[in-house]
Structure formats: C-alpha cells, structure tokens
Structure 1
Amino acid sequence: MTATTARTLTGLSSTTADGVGASPRRPDGTLKATGEFAYSSDLWMEDMLWGATLRSPHPHARILGIDITGALKVPGVEAVLTHEDVPGAKRYGLEYRDQPVLAFGKVRYKGEPVAVVAADHPETARRAMERIRVDYEVLEPVGDARRAAHDPECPLVHEEGDLPVREDYRQSGNRVRHQPIRTGGFADAAGDADRERRVLEELREQADAVVATEYEVGMQDQAFLGPESGMAVPAEDGGVDLYVATQWLHVDQRQIAPALGLPQDKVRLTLAGVGGAFGAREDLSMQIHACMLALHTGKPVKFVYNREESFHGHVHRHPALMRFEHGARADGTLLYATLEIIVDGGAYASATPAVVGVASSLGIGPYEVPNVLVDAYGVYTTNPPCGAMRGFGAVQACFGYESQMDRLAGELGLDPVELRIRNAMAQGSRIITGQEVEAPLPMAEMLRRARALPMPPERAERADPRTLPGGVSGTTRGEGVVRGVGYGVGLKNLCFSEGFDDYSTARVRLESVGGEPVALVHTAAAEVGQGLVTVKGQIVRTELGVETVVVHPADTRVGSAGSSSASRQSYMTGGAVREACAAVRAAVFALARGRGAVPEGTDDADLSLAGGNLVSASGGVLVSLADLLADGTVVEETREFHHRPTEMLDPTRGQGASHVQFGMCVHRAVVDVDTELGLVRVVALDAVQDVGRVLHPQQLAGQIQGGSTQGLGLALMEEIQVRDGEIVNPSFTDYLIPTILDTPPMRIDVLERPDPHAPYGLRGAGEPPTLSSTPAVVAAVREATGRALVRVPVRPEDILGIER
C-alpha cells in the first residue's frame, strides 16, 4: 500500500524525536506480530474456575421454568446460577436498563443468556450447561423492522411498563426512538402529515429531476479476532477485581456494580489485552456473569467465548431500511430531500437511541439542501441485538445518500463528482439540524484531489488470472470483465453527541529515576489496537520534553476516560493528557523558582521543558529536570478534559447543535467486474481525508486503510444472515471478511486544516473512511454493470440481475 500526503506540521514541532508528528514504534507492535502479546483470553490463575453460558434456543419465548439439578450433579461443577441468583439489579444497559443479567419472564433473541455455570474445566462446564432444563412457551417472533416501526398490531418485544419512558426519544410500542428533522418548507408543516405532503408535491413540481429509491444495508459484524474473555477475582474486602477486554472501563463498572449489589468502589476493573473491538465491546458480555460466579464460589472465574458464541454474545451493526427522495434543478442544485430510515436494534436498546440521532442528523450527508424531511426510527425486534460499530448510524445513511447523488447525476446528465461539488458543504455551512460547521470542511477540494489521483494501470489483455475477479481460484480468464470507477463522500460526527457530558481524565507524574527524568501517564482509556498508548507517550514527550514515558495500565483507579469509540480518544484523552502535562509543567516552573533556578524577572512564557531540561528562551538551559527532582520530589497532576457542550435534538423538528466535531473522507474506487459470473475485484481504493493535524503518520495511514477495508467488506461480502431470528452463519468460514488478497493498493492523500476547538487542531480519523468506501465501491460496480444495486453487501446474483 502506498501513501501520498499533503502534510505540513506547522506549530507541531517536538522537542523529542518521538513526540507529536513523529511515528515512533508501538510498544505492543512487536509482541503482537510475534504472538507474544498477552490477550484477555491468556489470563490464568491457580485454582481458577471456567465459566459457561446457557443460551436461549428461541428468538422469542416465555420461560415457564428452569431446572438446574442435573447440572449441579456433574462432578467438578461449583455453581449454577439463574436470574434468581442475581444479587442486585436484574437489568442493565448502556442507555436503557432493559437487558436482563440472566433472562427472566421471557427471552427476546436466540442466544440470550439464561443461566451460567462455573466448573473446574471448560468441558465440564459445557457438559453441565447441557443438563440444565428450561421449559419454554414459544411466542411469535418480531423479525420485520418496518412492521415493528409502523404496525400498531405488531406484538410487543417489551411489554408496556417494562421500560423507562424517554419523552425526548418519542418512544412507543416497539419504537426505541423516533427522530424527525424538518427544514425549509417542511419546518412550518412539521407534525401535520397532510401539510407535509402538500409541501412535497409543490417541491416535486419545481424540480427538473426527481429520484426516489429504497435502499437496504445488511447486518455487519465487527469481526474482531479476539473473542469475549476475561477473569473475575473475588477480593478480601467483599468486592471483585475484573480483568477484561472492553472499550469503556467505567461504563462497565457503572452497570456491573448495581447488578452485584455493590458500591462502585468495590468493583475494580483493569483492562486486559484487547483483540479488536470496533464498537462491539461497548456493551457487556461476560462481565457480570464472571463477577457473580467469582463472588458466589470465592474463586477466580474465567470466561472465553468460542467463535460461534461470540457471534451471539455481542452487538452488531444495525441493518437498515431506507427510502430516499431527492429533487434538483437542471443545473444540479439540490432543491429538497426526504428520508425514512429504520434501523433494527434487535432485542435490546444498547446504543440504538444514539445511532438514530446520528443517522437522522447526518442523513442527507454533506450537502446544501434547503428543504429536508427526515424520519429516523430505531426499533425493537427479536433479532440479534445491535449497537455500536465503526461509523455508528452514519454508515447506513451514507450508502443511501451517495447512491442518490449518482442516480441524480445520471438523470441530469452531469458528472457525479461535479454534482457533488456544486452542492458541497464548506466551513460556515449548516447541517440539517441547523448546526454551523465551524471548522474547515474542504469538501470540494477533497473531491478534486480524489479525482486527480493517478489511476491504476489498465488491465493487460492477457492479465495474470490471479489479478482478475475470482483471484487465486483462477475463475476467469478475463472474458466479460469490465472496469468501473466510483466515488463516495461521507460526513461523520466525532466524539459523543446530544448533550452527553463527555470527558476524559489523565494523571501525569514526573520524577527522577536513576538520574533520569521519567514521566508516568495514567488514564482509563482502552487501547483496543488503535495506538492510543503510543499517542499518549508522544504527547507527554512533546509537552514535558522528556524521553522516558511509562504508560500505566488502564484501570478504574483513575477517573473515567470515556469510551474508545466515536473517534474520540486522541481528542479527549489526548486533551486530558495535554492539560495534565501543562499543570505539571507549571508546577515544575514554580518549583524551580522556589529553588532559585529561574532568574528574577523571567516570565513563564519564556520557559519551556526540552531535552530533559528547564530551558529559558533567552538564557538557555537553567537546570536539568533530573537535578531538580533528585531529592525525591515528585510532581503529579490530574486533570479532566471536557469538550464544548452539545444539546439534544428537539423532538419535533430535530434542530440543535448536537455534535462536537465533523470528519470527512472522500474515496475513489476502481473495480474489475466479471459481468458473466458476478465476481468483483477491487483494483484500487484511494482516499482523501482532512484530519486537522497528524499526530502519528504511520498509525493514521493504518486507521484510514483499516476503515476503508471494513467499508469494502460491507460493500461486497460481509453480512450476518438472520433467518427467523437465527444467525445462520456464525463463523469466519461463512461470515466473510476481506483478507489481504481482497484488499487493494490504497493511495492516501492527507490534508491538515486544523480545528480551532481541538487539541493540536486534530480531527478524529478512524471512522470517516468506513462511510465513504462502501458507496464508492458500489458506485464503481454500478458503472461497470449498469445495475441499480440498492442493497449491500452486493451479491453475485445482484450483478447478474437474478431475482432473490
């Protein structure tokens, strides 16, 4: 993979070689490459027990009785627990406490936990689990998301009175949240269906081109390679210590403690090695179960899900049903847009309310549209639960609105890139919620740069069959292979939105160790593979001018750092580390003044820390930090970093400054399609992205390439297939993800237009590539085949025009 950049690191010069803007080696990189890295599944303690989970065989059923006597008779079994053994709150959840710790009353999806077992061997635990008898009364499944959203006769997944009411989410029936947005002519008619219909009819008459299409996005899995795992250890104080792979230590703690009937300070979490996340580890899996069994038996309890269980044990990307309509004038100027989007949240709410907020507010994309009508719904069904995944609601909408841009360009006879440029948002524009884009948003420039990137070589007449669709299988010799080019643009919110008090905490300590200044940084931020440990070290080196930085393991013994999601950790934890460093630096200046190391009259603005020394711009080195701290003095500061406030979208017109920051990526995809066999090879997937400021060039390239590859997977191959509430492909044999053979060369053109509100001017970079890569690939396949392709992933039969 190659990368070209437009990087200029003005104002980011570091006092050390491994500071901000450099690409120091990751401390975990070699260990992961050689297989020596310790993941959560590698945890081990003497006398530990193994946990196993009994899961529902039905998507929807009433529980009439549970008999555990057979399981308790299995030699080696030390505990079998059901909902009756939950010591505290029976339910938990990210936003709603709607999910049972262990099912009671009824089950709402196939794979829901009903009982847990602890035994001296994992096979013993599994055998005992099979001897638990559960009497079910099977109920009608609720599998149709559209029916769940709109049919008042649809059976309820959650009975009335079972759930907390959120008036601001307009929750009712099977709806978790309904979020409308109305602008322009639709704003005055908001809530009056007849008036809204008349406004739409008038706008249709004014438009020179109207395109209306229904789109569908399948259920995608995060497909992390490290399954859910962890170990709970009972403590002498009656509490529990949990070592677990997660994305958000403190939100886990907040949900676990009430279920155990313990105060939060008695539930201590430490991050274990994480084998990927991508959103799925925001929700709990085995955490409460392991802690319950550990407290019940008085012994450490370890869980490791197998791959099939992992597919049932975590949330997935919400599948979506969408209907878009766009109207435009002859010159391509957008006149209006409407959208209905229904996202299937499955059995429990998880992050569905927030996903609806993102999907609605960014539903029309980065385009200037004066009249907009959006209705976004998140619904309960008895399908597998869905929650956070990279892109978080914006991915689904992006496939729809970018497909619409291509269709509209075709109707008007315009170049698809030019149509996008004519309607492009920029700094000072307002998204459809009325919020102003205050930071640079060079969309038109990015589109032109993407179009200008060098194209891959044309396919040779006698190309190596391995470079054709079908790859190493040698499926084709080139007959019927057609090349296509497509573009995609995605707009993504970064950090948490809609009034959430999002913050991160960092503790930084500076001392002299062995005659050398050493800094220690302690946060609860989860390193899930994104390279945050490296970035924290870079910031400390830059701000304190020391070479040796120790990063403390992430745990709950320091304040919350929030979630490793929403492209927020470099912004939020990076901001907290920077502020804690600033406080340490100020304390060092005061200490040096108190000891006479700073000449009288020297202003703090004249001082800095560089090369392990306290330095004056006018007087050079004043004192080494090692000497200043040689008497054992320790300087330690803890700081919280909060971003600027946001607000909830209003429930009627969807107006409000709900987001912190926006990120954008533009993709150009080049594909070869065998139009006779329905096979696709992505030849190139090039990206242009504005990241504000680059902190670590190598890791940035990895984030853009990784996000692009996940988008490619959604476009062509990745889908959890659900039939009658059952996942029918819960393995990496049948759930397909891109391998290195499917991943094309990627040119990366990076722009740096600093965000004035963000630390170092940075802009989160991990999610935007996942949005725009999917529609770019599908657009290229459309150009090659002439097919409409309204659903992802695109299947061979779609390319061949075979009805499903």
Structure 2
Amino acid sequence: MTDTTDTGTTRAGTTRTGTTETGTTYTGTPVTGVGESARRPDATLKVTGEFAYASDLWLDGMVWGATLRSPHPSAWIRSIDVGPALRIPGVFAVLTHEDVPGEKFYGLEHKDQPVLAIDQVRYQGEPVALVGADHPETARRAAAAIVVEYEPREAITDPRLSQHFVRHQPVRRGDTFEAEVVVTGEYEVGMQDQAFLGPESGLAVPAEDGGVDLYIATQWLHVDRDQLAPCLGLPPDKVRLTLSGVGGAFGAREDLSMQVHACMLALRLNRPVKIVYGREESFFGHVHRHPARMRYEHGATRDGRLVYVKADILLDGGAYCSSSPAVVGNAASLGVGPYEVPNVRVDATGVYTNNPPCGAMRGFGAVQACYAYESQMDRLAEACGLSPIEVRVRNAVSQGSRLITGQLIDAPAPLAEMLRDLEAMPLPAAEPARDLRGLPGGVSQTTHGESVRRGVGYGVGIKNICFSEGFDDYSTARVRAELVGGEPHVTVHTAAAEVGQGLVTVQAQIARTELGVENVTVAAADTSVGSAGSSSASRQSYVTGGAVKAACEAVRKRFEGLPAAEALARFGPIEETREYRHRPTYPMDPLTGQGDSHTQLALCVHRAVVDVDVELGLVKVVELAAVQDVGRILNPQALEGQIHGGSAQGLGLALMEEIQVRDGRVLNPSFTDYLIPTILDMPPMTMKIMENPDPSAPYGLRGAGEPPTLSSTPAIAAAVRAATGLRLTRVPIRPEDIALFDSGTFRGDTFDEGSMDSTKGESDDKRA
C-alpha cells in the first residue's frame, strides 16, 4: 500500500506530489539534510530486535529491585512489618519511607507525591516499600511477604464530588449569551493509557564520589534529576542521568516512576540496582490521560455563525498533581477550538480524587475539549441545515484571528482551505468489503456484511506547540567539529530524549544542512550538557532543533568562509554551545483567562469513513483522510509516521482504549483487556501536508506530533453517529452503546438527571 502525500508550498504557490518512502533501500550514508527522508540510525536495530532498551541493561553483580504497592485506593497505614521479607534468602534490603535519605516528596509542579507512602495511601498501586534481592522473582516474592496493616476508608472516585481542586481556570470574553439557534450537550472521555511498548525500567549505579549514575528511559532528564537529588539528599551534580533506549512515551515518562527507588537501593547497598516493571505494574506506575466530563452550549445565528460558547470542563486528576494544572490551562484556552467566537464563558477545573494519577498524554488537555466542541459543531450544523464542513468553514479562524484568550494568531492558519481540501478528497469505494479483514469484527467472522451501514464524519483540532503560560522553555546544544581520520566529523550533544519520534535523525539532518558535513554523530543524551526540556508538547524539533541550528551557525562562523575540512585543518577542533528560547509566553489571567499563553498553534483536520454493524455494535474504520499544516517539512517520512501514529491513538480513544476504574480500582491492567489498535484496525490513510512557514520558528517548522490525535477521535465518533443515527456522547464508543436499544430510544442517548441535553435522539435546539 502506498500513501499519497500532497505537499503544498504556499509561498511559491506550487504543489508537489510524492509518495511515502516506505520500503526504500539506502546504501552507504547519503548526505541527507533538512527536508529529506533521512534514514533513522536505529531503524534496522529496532526491526531486528537488536536495539538495546533500558530493560536490557545489565551489570555483573547487580541487584534487582521490586516495589510493594497498595491494594487500596484510600486507606490509613497502621503498621509495616518487613521482617518476613528480610528472612527470605537472597534479600539484601527492604526500604520504607523511613529510609528516604532526603526530602520525602516530589512532583512535577507541586511536591505532593511521597517517595514511599508515609501514613496513608491515596490510590491503588501507590508505592509502599522497596525490596532489593539477587533475583527478580526473589524480589517480587519478598515484596509480597511484607505485612502492611491498612485501615481502608471511603474513597472519593467521582470527580463531581471532590472538594479538592488542582486548578480552576475560567475564560471570559464578551457579554452576549443569547442566540437564534442554541445546541447543548454533555460529553465524557474515558481514561486512556499511553500504552507504550517498553515498560518503566532503569539501572542505578553508585559512584565513588558518593553520588549515583542512573541509566533511564525518560522524557525529561534534567527535571528527573532535579526531583531526584533532594529526595536522595544529594546535590544535583552528584546525580547524573543518561538516556537509555526508550520504547515509547507519549507523556507517561514525564513523571518519576522507579527512578528514585532504584537510586535509593543502589546507595543503600552500594551495588548497581535494576528495576523493570511488568506490564501490569506499568499500568499502576505511570500517569494516564485525564478522564473528562464536559457540558457545552453553543449559540449561533440561523446561518450557523457562532455568537457564544459556554463550557464546563471537569478533569479528574487522580491522587496527585503531576501536570494537571497545565492540562487544565490547555483545556481552558483551547476549549472552543479553532473557531471565531466573540462571547465565551469557559470554566476548566481539575480535581483530586482517589483514582489513579493523571498527567501528560499526547494532546494534553486539548484532546478532551476537542471531542466535545467538535461534537457540538456537528449538532450546530444539523440545527442550521448546514453540512459539517460548511459550518466549520463559516467559523474558522485564520491569520489575524484571536483565540478566546485574546491571543493574536500571527502565523498562517489556513483552516478554511484545509477543510475544503479535505472535502475534495475522493471517498473510498462504496461497495462492501469482500475480505473479512475489511468488515466490522474482522477475522473473528462475526459478520458477513449483514446490518452494516456506512458513515462519514469530520473533525478539526487545534493544539499548542511548546510549553505555555510563562514556562522558561529552552534547549541547549553543544556542537563539535573536528577532523577524524582526515575527514570532517561533527558531534551533536543535547539532553533531548529520543523516545521514538526520530529526534536523533532530525538533529543530524540540521547539522548536515548547516555545516555541509556528511559524517555526524549524535551523542547519547545525558545531564552533562545543559537542559533540553521534555520530549513533549511537540516541542523538540522547535527548541532543540533551534539550539542545534544556532550552535552549528556559531561553528560555521568560525570556519571564516572556508570549507569545513580546510577550516578544521587550519584551526583545529571547533566547539560551540548555544541555548535556544522561543518567544515569551505569559500566564493566563486567573479571573478572565486572557493572555498570550501559547508559543505556536498547529491545525489538523480529519475525515473518517466507517462501516458499522448496527446489530452487533462493531465498527470498522474504512479510511482516514487528513490535512495538516506543518510549517516546514524536516523529514517527510518521519512526519508521515507521526501523523499515522497520532491518528492511531485517536482511533483508539474513539473506539477501544479505556482504563476501566471501578471504586478506584483498575479492572483491566493488561494488553489482554486494555485494547489498543493493531495494524488490522488502522485503515489506509490519505494525507495532504501543507507548508505555510511560521516566521518565528526555526526553518518555519510547526510541531506536528500531537494535532492528529485531537481531530481523529471526533471524526471517527461523528462517522459512527452518521452510520447509526445515535447521539453517542461518550468515547470510547462501546458495542453496547450502538447495539442495545429499546423502542427507538438508544442507550447511548441517555444522560444523567439535570443534563443540559435531550434524552432522545433529537437535537435540543432552541430558536428565538
């Protein structure tokens, strides 16, 4: 299968058409700079199984660590007896909160999370004690032998009942909240897991200077270090982190997991300590996407132009803060989508509960809001007698528009053009699939085409790129040029985490472009060079790419106009270090939500075509089409992979992915019961990739990894609605939401008492 990619270059007024370079064979090491599909240096190792991930680390004489976790979502700890564990042969140490050598709490934004539970546990899976042993099975058996006396207490698991707020962020604009057409609705998004392939893992090695060296799979080396050092009672320069092979992240590795536990055991035993979570423990060992409950009201003129939007967005942050304040900020500022709305009353709130902690996941607050506001735009289209495309075009932002926060969109934002391009893309053939793999239910042969209906839906998403609200967002790069064997060679060193997105490849491409040197090595990321921030918020190509570019420019300046080989022969090795910062951002006003809170904005639009067996409730996504503006393409093949991957995670949220939590307890902590899309679930994708450079960004690029995750979910949900005629106000959509009905009133339409929306399949529209 070949995916077509149309790349439009607005400045030149031209369009070039190409194909995805999947399966291309490379020989030698071609000079591949910015704009080319440079081959990933880790590609062959990963597909052959030879790549070394953090879970593959090994040192002779190392100790294995294991964690005892709470079985209760909320309880007092009355006593901990470690004696039975210590009596097991092969056990070297058992640690509790009393053994934490420094500060007992850590956290990304607020230090509210204990290294080990002290007097209480606040969620199922909270770490209570650590074991170090000569074998992983021995360590796990010893952890199970620790006797903890708990006094369970009532858990707060419904976020609507929580009185403990992480953040409340209003957005206020205008004062007109009456309109000719009004549509209302309540929406819910389930708890999604990042579902990365490589579980949490790392190796801590005690050092001769009394410090510790940690080899770790993470997203954010320096912030890991800055949280670790106080807990270990060490200065930051004695806690050294090196990035090991990372098997995916998607936000879940921004927070600490086993880092401080491995280091505590290593320092106590003066031996290397390795901790690797199993898959079930991984579900308890990292944060998840915030579940959300949202109430929306859209008011518009009869011809579909928005007059006002009201929204209440409630995000369940779980037991600890993590990055919930920033997630709330994104949900608030992007809460009505990329539409011009003169009057806004948005309230986004994050609360603490005794559910699993939630934090960063691809899309970071914007995903939840996108599902709700896009569902509302479809209802508005229906109420006004417009097509889903037309209602969006009539309200689309463009360059010169303002967000609901008052921030000016000062870079290209061709949303209307993107929607028209999407609408013009040919639809897949209408005839039913002959291959079982193309039918709802697939090879399980649950259907042969009976009761299958087709639906088409659209989704639009807007995502902030880079960190927001005044965060000091920067990256550091050190670039060294020298002669090796008589040939110019460049080494690029940053602390930026390669988590599978291809950042190592992009750094090398930038160095080749700026210095004209073929041989480039990207050194292992570690804390011996300045911070590069987190591999999140679609920011690394922007900030680390900017830092590498700036350092290369400084090196090239010292070439004094000579070719690299001649300059290095004359001057010797040349090394430069540069920090790169994007333009400043500012906190949102706590009362009005106004302010220039974001660095850059990115748009993606999706069309989904689905086949639904309305009797069995099974869905097959037949096709996804996407149009995305990326500013400037740095690596076409890697970019297309990001769009495919983001779309797949959006498909998962739409149809299958949800951590089932009942009374604070996780019911499905395995890939047997937590379902993620496979290659059989992902349809062929048609993509048009536009290049409208952002003048404020390096090379004009625009972060591209997250936007597809936003818009694919509502597009698929809309397509299922079109096929079934159901309102379907919750994702993921379950088979029973589609298949079970009674006398024409569908289960998927029912709301709690007091809902803003109708309990029938009819739109609750009001006309003045």
**Does the alignment reach a TM-score above 0.5?**
yes
> In the alignment, what sits opposite 2:513?
542
Any conservation in 2 of the 1:20–1:696 contact (CA below 8 Å)? yes
> In the alignment, what sits opposite 2:233?
261
> In the alignment, what sits opposite 2:25?
none
1:177 to 157, 167, 174: 167
The alignment partner of 2:314 has SS state of strand
1:680 to 583, 604, 619: 619
- 1:632 deviates by 7.5
Deviation per CA, 1:349-389: give whole Å up to 9, x if none: 00100000000000000011111000100000000000000
Any conservation in 1 of the 2:623–2:684 contact (CA below 8 Å)? yes
Distance 1:7 1:326 in 2: 34
| Residues 224-243 of structure 1 aligned to structure 2 (within 5 Å) | 224-243=196-215
> In the alignment, what sits opposite 1:5?
6
Any conservation in 1 of the 2:54–2:201 contact (CA below 8 Å)? yes
> In the alignment, what sits opposite 2:766?
none
The alignment partner of 1:629 has SS state of helix
Deviation per CA, 1:267-309: give whole Å up to 9, x if none: 0000000000000000000000000000000000000000000
State the identity as a percent.
70
Any conservation in 2 of the 1:517–1:546 contact (CA below 8 Å)? yes
- 1:8 deviates by 4.1
Distance 1:500 1:16 in 2: 39
Distance 1:58 1:31 in 2: 42
- 1:465 deviates by 3.0
| Residues 299-314 of structure 1 aligned to structure 2 (within 5 Å) | 299-314=271-286
Any conservation in 2 of the 1:229–1:244 contact (CA below 8 Å)? yes
The alignment partner of 1:178 has SS state of strand
- 1:454 deviates by 1.5
- 1:631 deviates by 6.3
Distance 1:586 1:114 in 2: 55
> In the alignment, what sits opposite 2:64?
50
- 1:629 deviates by 2.1
> In the alignment, what sits opposite 1:600?
none
2:502 to 510, 522, 531: 531
Any conservation in 2 of the 1:525–1:554 contact (CA below 8 Å)? yes
> In the alignment, what sits opposite 1:432?
404
> In the alignment, what sits opposite 1:164?
none
> In the alignment, what sits opposite 1:403?
375
Deviation per CA, 1:307-343: give whole Å up to 9, x if none: 0000000000000000000011111011110000000
1:492 paired to 2:463: yes
Paired AA for residue 767 in structure 1: E
Distance 2:658 2:463 in 1: 22
Paired AA for residue 5 in structure 1: D
For the structure 1 residues 759 and 9, does the alpha-carbon distance in structure 2 shift closer, same or farther, using more than 3 Å as the test? farther
Distance 2:439 2:138 in 1: 49
> In the alignment, what sits opposite 1:658?
597
Any conservation in 2 of the 1:465–1:478 contact (CA below 8 Å)? no
Paired AA for residue 290 in structure 1: A
For the structure 1 residues 22 and 7, does the alpha-carbon distance in structure 2 shift closer, same or farther, using more than 3 Å as the test? farther
| Residues 685-704 of structure 1 aligned to structure 2 (within 5 Å) | 685-704=624-643
Paired AA for residue 798 in structure 1: D
The alignment partner of 2:332 has SS state of helix
Deviation per CA, 1:151-181: give whole Å up to 9, x if none: xxxxxxxxxxxxxxxxxxxxxx410000011
> In the alignment, what sits opposite 2:667?
728
1:466 paired to 2:456: no
The alignment partner of 1:242 has SS state of strand
Any conservation in 2 of the 1:16–1:542 contact (CA below 8 Å)? no
- 1:575 deviates by 0.1
1:391 to 363, 367, 392: 363
- 1:801 deviates by 4.1
Paired AA for residue 143 in structure 1: T
Q: Please report the RMSD computed on the Cα atoms of aligned residues, expressed in angstroms.
A: 1.3
Paired AA for residue 96 in structure 1: H
| Residues 438-477 of structure 1 aligned to structure 2 (within 5 Å) | 438-460=410-432, 463-477=434-448
Paired AA for residue 784 in structure 1: A
Q: Which runs of 5+ in 1 are unaligned?
A: 149-172, 186-198, 590-606, 608-613, 615-623
- 1:464 deviates by 2.8
The alignment partner of 1:280 has SS state of coil
Deviation per CA, 1:644-682: give whole Å up to 9, x if none: 111111111110000000000000000011111111000
Distance 1:314 1:3 in 2: 37
> In the alignment, what sits opposite 1:352?
324
| Residues 574-613 of structure 1 aligned to structure 2 (within 5 Å) | 574-589=545-560, 607=561
Distance 2:519 2:708 in 1: 34
Any conservation in 1 of the 2:516–2:564 contact (CA below 8 Å)? no
1:114 paired to 2:104: no
Q: How many residues of Structure 1 are paired with residues of Structure 2 in the alignment?
A: 726
Any conservation in 2 of the 1:787–1:801 contact (CA below 8 Å)? no
Deviation per CA, 1:233-261: give whole Å up to 9, x if none: 00000000000000000000000000000
TM-score normalised by the chain length of structure 2: 0.93
TM-score normalised by the chain length of structure 1: 0.89
Distance 1:24 1:650 in 2: 43
- 1:633 deviates by 1.1
The alignment partner of 1:24 has SS state of coil
Distance 1:718 1:355 in 2: 20
> In the alignment, what sits opposite 1:280?
252
For the structure 1 residues 423 and 631, does the alpha-carbon distance in structure 2 shift closer, same or farther, using more than 3 Å as the test? closer
Distance 2:461 2:272 in 1: 46
Distance 1:680 1:474 in 2: 13
Distance 1:522 1:735 in 2: 38
Paired AA for residue 252 in structure 1: D
2:118 to 91, 104, 110: 104
The alignment partner of 1:747 has SS state of strand
Paired AA for residue 329 in structure 1: T
Paired AA for residue 509 in structure 1: R
> In the alignment, what sits opposite 2:34?
20
Distance 1:799 1:783 in 2: 12
Deviation per CA, 1:722-781: give whole Å up to 9, x if none: 011111000000000000000000011000000000000000000000000000000001
Paired AA for residue 504 in structure 1: S
Any conservation in 1 of the 2:489–2:517 contact (CA below 8 Å)? yes
Q: Which runs of 5+ in 2 are unaligned?
A: 13-28, 742-746, 749-768
1:717 paired to 2:656: yes
Distance 1:453 1:38 in 2: 42
Any conservation in 1 of the 2:480–2:576 contact (CA below 8 Å)? yes
Distance 2:187 2:649 in 1: 19
1:787 paired to 2:752: no
Deviation per CA, 1:440-480: give whole Å up to 9, x if none: 000000000011112111124x7333311111111111111
Distance 2:590 2:139 in 1: 49
Distance 1:72 1:632 in 2: 62
Any conservation in 1 of the 2:437–2:680 contact (CA below 8 Å)? no
Any conservation in 1 of the 2:439–2:620 contact (CA below 8 Å)? yes
Distance 1:111 1:797 in 2: 30
1:135 paired to 2:149: yes
Any conservation in 1 of the 2:11–2:692 contact (CA below 8 Å)? no
Distance 2:473 2:711 in 1: 27
The alignment partner of 2:257 has SS state of coil
Distance 1:392 1:713 in 2: 16
- 1:60 deviates by 0.2
| Residues 311-390 of structure 1 aligned to structure 2 (within 5 Å) | 311-390=283-362
> In the alignment, what sits opposite 1:38?
52
2:217 to 222, 245, 248: 245
For the structure 1 residues 385 and 353, does the alpha-carbon distance in structure 2 shift closer, same or farther, using more than 3 Å as the test? same
1:478 paired to 2:449: yes
Distance 1:147 1:753 in 2: 46
| Residues 617-632 of structure 1 aligned to structure 2 (within 5 Å) | 624-630=563-569
Distance 1:657 1:7 in 2: 29
- 1:800 deviates by 2.1
